[in-house]
């Protein structure tokens, strides 16, 4: 049993009617629909424009892009070296140090990516 019904009338209008669906059907004809907004009225603001970067921010962004590229290249070099089967013929200490270097590079890369919100 419904005691009230919320109806989406369109154009962002929501009305509440007493009763259920059948009651709404009988009531909706008696309720006056508000007039549409005139086109001469002030339009709703559009999406906010992104702000322009300052000169300093542009330089920081450019250096950040270069740093990210260098870190990605270093990471790819490490992964390529580790893909070579002869890599694992090295002493365990060298392999561990290489893995540590790879982890540090990946951590730096994540920090750089988060700093630039890329």
- For the stretch 7-17, pLDDT in tens is 877 787 888 87
Residue 115 near residue 64, CB atoms below 8 Å: yes
In the predicted model, is pLDDT for residue 38 greater than 60? no
End-to-end CA separation in angstroms for the chain: 52
In the predicted model, is pLDDT for residue 51 greater than 60? yes
Segments making up each domain of the chain, as ranges: 1-32, 55-116
- How is 21-35 classified by DSSP, letter by letter? HHHHHHHHTTSPPPP
Give the helix/strand (H/E) hosting 16. Answer: strand 13-18
pLDDT band at 58 (very low <50, low <70, confident <90, very high): confident
In the predicted model, is pLDDT for residue 77 greater than 50? yes
Residue 106 near residue 100, CB atoms below 8 Å: no
Question: How many Å apart are CA 26 and CA 38, to the nearest integer?
Answer: 29
């Amino acid at each position: 049993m419904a005691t009230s019904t919320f109806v989406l009338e369109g154009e962002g209008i929501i009305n509440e009617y007493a009763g259920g669906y059948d009651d709404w059907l009988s009531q909706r004809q008696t309720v006056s629909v508000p007039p549409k907004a005139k086109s001469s009225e002030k339009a709703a603001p559009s999406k906010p424009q992104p702000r322009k970067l300052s000169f300093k921010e542009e330089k920081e962004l450019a250096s950040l892009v270069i740093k990210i590229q260098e870190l990605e290249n270093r990471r790819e070099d490490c992964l390529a070296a580790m893909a070579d089967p002869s890599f694992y013929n090295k002493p365990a200490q060298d392999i561990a140090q290489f893995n540590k270097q790879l982890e540090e590079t990946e951590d730096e890369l994540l920090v750089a990516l988060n700093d630039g919100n890329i």
